[in-house]
């Protein structure tokens, strides 16, 4: 691919499908008033006219799959909740968006929090829950403010609280701010954290659907998954299925970032390609080529320009040897050192490893040691097999997916860029100039005498 891909025959108007983002540019987009002007809470009214089991079946039939990374069918998660068990049921929304590269839920909640709240009411009606939680990562105070307001507005308007819209159902929503821990994006670690403990993952089974929050049946869903539900109810599952593919239907938020001309959120049917997204958004930054990219955050194996035409849906990216993940398309150009990128990600995993299981705790530690040496030109050729071996001892052998995620950049970078690692070792140093990778690298300086 060249830096500015050929213009696609299909126009952005056809390729994109703003649903959740459709009115983010309106003044006061986050208010109940704006949301109601855009058919807000119409999906809830339709849901309340159905039985809870019908709602579960409807969401299942729509084919909606989890948008938090794993892609598990949302309706099926709801169906797993045992009914008539006499225990309280809980819905916990995972808003702990922390996967490197991932930046969709935070702008969604900032601009349109009521989509989430409406989805929560529908979900709680379906699974017979009267108390739901939003676990928001603490490091995003602007979003917390708007969630506080949105929940207050929803109570005042009768969408939350007692006897919602005269249906006889009750729902309380608690907004809970986390305190900085990537591991709390893992659903069982999130539940431990929400119970006031260190955020460490739990052994499964039992799964949260059986013994989740306070050992009660619990659904944990990603923000975008739940926020997509009102549109499915409102516009119909056929409409939803008209987008995407048989196994990956619907729309989703793609987050384009890195050395691209037009970083941002692009809401489109599942299955769009990176070539199409770059084509419509101005491509890579002028004068540069795509070198490597992640399809869904740093935990998904990196891909290269040979994968530009991979359909970005669950099956397509899986077939290319990676995962759709969170659709966080981090694009790096030829100025970027792969070893530097992978070392930094690995330092992240070592920092965020909760310490519960040995392969992840020790493995990420040793990976950092070796990678730093390699990046600094102090590595040896045998280190490359060593890091591959360590990654292999983390992957699939750790307590939770954090370990698998830590292994992904190692495996995939060795697969596509082993020569670059070897160059660091043979040349006894990094051949790249980090200054060339900055966003300001190509800007000419009109005042060279002015020193920064």
β pairing state of 290-294 and 218-222 = unpaired
User: Which region among 155-163, 394-402, 415-423, 427-435 touches other proteins (by CB under 8 A)?
Assistant: 427-435
Q: Which of residues 62-91 bind other proteins (CB under 8 A)?
A: 88
Q: Is 28 left (phi over 0), alpha (psi -120 to 50) or beta?
A: left
> Site residues for other proteins, window 89-108 (CB under 8 A)?
97-103, 105-107
Q: Does 193 bind other proteins (CB under 8 A)?
A: yes
438 contributes a contact to other proteins by CB under 8 A: yes
Residue 146 contacts other proteins per CB under 8 A = yes
Tell me, by CB under 8 A, how many residues bind other proteins.
117
Instruction: Indicate the DSSP class of residue 410.
Output: H
- Let me know: does 116 contact 227? Beta carbons within 8 Å: yes
Quick one: 105 or 420, whose CB is closer to other proteins? 105
User: Residue 36 CA to chain centroid, in angstroms?
Assistant: 27
Separation between Cα atoms, residue 46 and residue 303, nearest integer Å: 42
Which residues within the stretch 284-343 sit at the binding site for other proteins (CB under 8 A)? 298, 328, 330, 332, 336, 340-341, 343
Q: By CB under 8 A, what part of segment 358-387 binds other proteins?
A: 365, 368-370, 372-373, 378, 380, 382, 386
User: Which residue in the set 7, 9, 13, 287 belongs to the binding site for other proteins (CB under 8 A)?
Assistant: 13
Q: Binding pattern to other proteins, positions 29-68, x when CB under 8 A?
A: xx--------------------------------------
- Give CA torsion, residues 413, 419, 422, 427, to 10 deg: -120
Nearer to other proteins, 47 or 81 (CB): 81
Between the alpha carbon of residue 272 and those of residues 235, 250, 390, 411, 443, the distances in Å are 22, 11, 35, 26, 32
| Six-digit token string for 92 | 């916990």
Indicate whether 190 belongs to the interface with other proteins (CB under 8 A): no
347 sits near other proteins (criterion: CB under 8 A) = yes
Site membership for other proteins, residue 177 (CB under 8 A): yes
Residue choice 138, 161, 236, 321 for contact with other proteins (CB under 8 A): 138
Our finding on whether 388 is near other proteins (CB under 8 A) is no
Does position 451 interact with other proteins (CB under 8 A)? The reply is yes
87 φ/ψ angles, rounded to the nearest 5 degrees: -100, 155
Interacting residues of 255 by C-beta distance below 8 A, sequence separation 6+? 101, 102, 103, 104, 264, 265, 266, 326, 327, 328, 329
Rounded distance, CA 170 to CA 157, Å?
14
Position 248 contacts other proteins (CB under 8 A): no
């Amino acid at each position: 691919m060249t830096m500015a891909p050929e213009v696609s025959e299909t126009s952005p108007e056809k390729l994109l499908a703003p649903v959740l983002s459709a009115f983010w540019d309106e003044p006061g987009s986050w208010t109940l008033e704006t949301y109601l002007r855009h058919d807000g809470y119409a999906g809830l009214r339709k849901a309340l006219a159905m039985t809870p089991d019908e709602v579960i079946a409807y969401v299942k039939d729509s084919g909606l799959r989890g948008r938090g990374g794993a892609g598990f069918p949302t309706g099926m998660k709801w169906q797993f909740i045992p009914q008539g068990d006499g225990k309280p049921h809980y819905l916990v929304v995972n808003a702990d968006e922390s996967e490197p590269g991932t930046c969709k839920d935070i702008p969604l909640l900032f601009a349109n929090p009521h989509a989430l709240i409406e989805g929560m009411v529908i979900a709680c009606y379906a699974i017979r829950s009267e108390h739901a939680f939003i676990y928001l990562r603490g490091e995003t105070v602007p979003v917390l403010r708007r969630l506080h307001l949105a929940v207050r507005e929803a109570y005042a308007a009768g969408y939350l609280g007692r006897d919602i819209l005269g249906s006889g159902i009750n729902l309380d929503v608690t907004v809970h701010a986390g305190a900085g821990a990537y591991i709390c994006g893992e659903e069982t670690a999130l539940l431990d954290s929400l119970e006031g403990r260190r955020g460490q993952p739990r052994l499964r089974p039992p799964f949260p659907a059986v013994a989740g929050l306070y050992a009660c049946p619990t659904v944990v869903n990603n923000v975008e998954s739940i926020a997509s539900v009102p549109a499915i109810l409102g516009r119909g599952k056929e409409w939803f299925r008209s987008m995407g593919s048989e196994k990956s239907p619907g729309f989703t938020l793609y987050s384009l970032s890195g050395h691209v001309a037009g970083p941002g959120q692009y809401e489109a049917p599942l299955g769009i390609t990176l070539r199409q997204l770059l084509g419509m958004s101005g491509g890579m930054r002028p004068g540069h080529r795509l070198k490597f990219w992640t399809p869904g955050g740093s935990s998904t194996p990196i891909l290269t320009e040979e994968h530009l035409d991979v359909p970005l849906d669950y099956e397509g990216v899986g077939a290319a040897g990676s995962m759709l993940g969170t659709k966080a398309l981090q694009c790096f150009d030829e100025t970027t050192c792969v070893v530097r990128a992978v070392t930094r990600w690995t330092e992240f995993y070592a920092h965020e490893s909760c310490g519960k299981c040995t392969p992840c705790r020790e493995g990420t530690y040793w990976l950092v040691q070796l990678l730093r040496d390699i990046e600094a030109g102090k590595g040896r050729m045998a280190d490359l097999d060593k890091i591959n071996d360590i990654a292999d001892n983390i992957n699939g052998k750790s307590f939770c997916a954090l370990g698998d995620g830590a292994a992904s950049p190692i495996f995939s970078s060795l697969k596509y860029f082993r020569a670059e690692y070897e160059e660091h070792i043979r040349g006894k140093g990094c051949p790249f100039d980090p200054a060339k990778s900055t966003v300001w690298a190509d800007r000419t300086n009109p005042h060279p005498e002015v020193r920064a």
